[in-house]
């Protein structure tokens, strides 16, 4: 019988730390822990591999461990299950660790959108569906079934180029900001982009707007990156004009346009790490990552600042705590698998087509 989570809920972080280390030693190479950059430090430090979604997707695909423990959110563990070998088991320490952005697009809404587009044009010949990796497995499967693909913030431009080489339009979901910022940087004007409001018939758009659009952007967003505002940049630069601004492309268009650099979490880390000593940076992405980068770089005289005066972290990422990680690992030591993520085979097959194409582009 599996060890109940209730036995772990009241453990201190310090006790969990020692027990996680002991469990990792016992499990050895049979278990690999993947940690997303947005995880809290108490969990992040135990990861065998850390990174953004693309890097961790590759780690999952390349792993030979029997157990893949994904310290992230639900869609990430789904990707690990889809890309890993049949005998491997993907585990999410806390099943409540989801993604509010991913929840803004579901298969029912996307199917409805596709059907409404079909009343105006032939979407299967005119539109390439692209889902951000921050989405459920069945939406990745939808893309696989309709000649589409998956993207991450690291490879979004290459994926858009791939899509436009095949069809004239893109339906991009669930994050409008990544789609808009990437397309604009490729030279696509804002007037060639429309936002599909899934709560309204025909997305709240006219037939002419849909026919003229190159990018149909889903009305979704990341709540963490929505806290960043252009005025915060202006106010900071008034005090520290030498500052360089770097933002994740999930931030809004106005913030990205005022930024010196735009890129994924891996890009942000690389850019700041390789910058000159004593430089100052204002960063628009999740708080845990920014705090770790600040601590890492301060010995070089670099000042790394979180853009928003409001302290905002990803609450669903934060659900993965040392207690849940201890529970998962000690159950594996005892021969019990808890919180397995298993994507149905039909969905996994279609989703894998879209993910495999992404990894090849």
Any domain includes 179: yes
**Nearest by Cα to 42 from 98, 91, 93:** 93
Identify the three-state secondary structure at position 328: helix
DSSP H or E segment with residue 107: helix 107-118
d(CA 2, CA 222): 35
> Is residue 194 domain-shared with residue 136, that is, in the same domain?
yes
Residues of the chain scoring pLDDT < 70: 311-318
Dig out the tokens for 259 from the structure: 């930024």
Domain that holds residue 89: 5-97+316-343
> Is residue 24 domain-shared with residue 134, that is, in the same domain?
no
Domain stops at, among 179, 199, 223: 223
The pLDDT, as a whole number, for residue 57 is: 77
Any domain includes 30: yes
The pLDDT, as a whole number, for residue 149 is: 98
Identify the three-state secondary structure at position 50: strand
Exposed / middle / buried, residue 319 (Cβ in 10 Å: 0-12, 13-18, 19+): middle
Any domain includes 351: no
> Is residue 13 domain-shared with residue 120, that is, in the same domain?
no
d(CA 179, CA 15): 43
HSE-CB at 158 with a 13 A cutoff on CA atoms is 11
The pLDDT, as a whole number, for residue 318 is: 63
Query: Facing residues of 265 across strands?
Result: none
Any domain includes 357: no
């Amino acid at each position: 019988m599996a060890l109940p989570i209730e036995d772990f809920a009241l453990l201190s972080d310090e006790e969990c730390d020692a027990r996680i280390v002991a469990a990792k030693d016992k499990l050895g190479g049979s278990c690999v822990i993947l940690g997303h950059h947005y995880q809290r430090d108490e969990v992040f430090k135990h990861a065998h591999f850390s990174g953004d979604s693309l890097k961790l997707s590759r780690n999952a695909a390349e792993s030979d461990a029997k157990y893949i423990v994904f310290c992230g959110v639900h869609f990430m563990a789904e990707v690990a299950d889809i890309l890993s070998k049949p005998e491997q088991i993907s585990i999410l320490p806390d099943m409540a660790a989801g993604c509010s952005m991913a929840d803004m697009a579901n298969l029912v809404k996307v199917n409805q959108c596709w059907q409404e587009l079909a009343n105006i044009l032939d979407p299967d010949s005119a539109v390439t569906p692209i889902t951000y990796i921050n989405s459920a497995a069945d939406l990745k499967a939808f893309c696989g079934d309709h000649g589409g693909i998956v993207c991450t913030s690291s490879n979004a431009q290459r994926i858009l180029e791939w899509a436009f080489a095949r069809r004239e339009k893109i339906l991009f979901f669930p994050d409008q900001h990544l789609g808009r910022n990437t397309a604009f940087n490729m030279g696509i004007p804002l007037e060639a982009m429309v936002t599909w409001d899934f709560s309204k018939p025909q997305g709240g758009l006219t037939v002419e707007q849909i026919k003229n659009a190159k990018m149909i952007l889903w009305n979704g967003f990341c709540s963490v990156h929505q806290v960043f505002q252009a005025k915060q940049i202006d106010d900071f630069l008034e005090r520290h004009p030498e500052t360089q601004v770097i933002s994740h492309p999930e931030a809004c268009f106005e913030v990205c346009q005022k930024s010196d650099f735009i890129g994924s979490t891996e890009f942000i880390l690389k850019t700041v790490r390789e910058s000159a000593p004593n430089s100052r940076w204002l960063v628009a992405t999740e708080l845990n990552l920014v705090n770790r980068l600040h601590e890492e770089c301060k010995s070089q005289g670099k000042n790394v600042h979180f853009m928003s005066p409001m302290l905002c972290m990803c609450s669903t990422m934060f659900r993965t705590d040392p207690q849940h990680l201890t529970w998962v690992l000690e159950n594996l030591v005892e021969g019990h698998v808890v919180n397995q993520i298993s994507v149905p085979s039909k969905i996994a097959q279609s989703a894998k087509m879209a993910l495999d194409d992404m990894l090849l582009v």
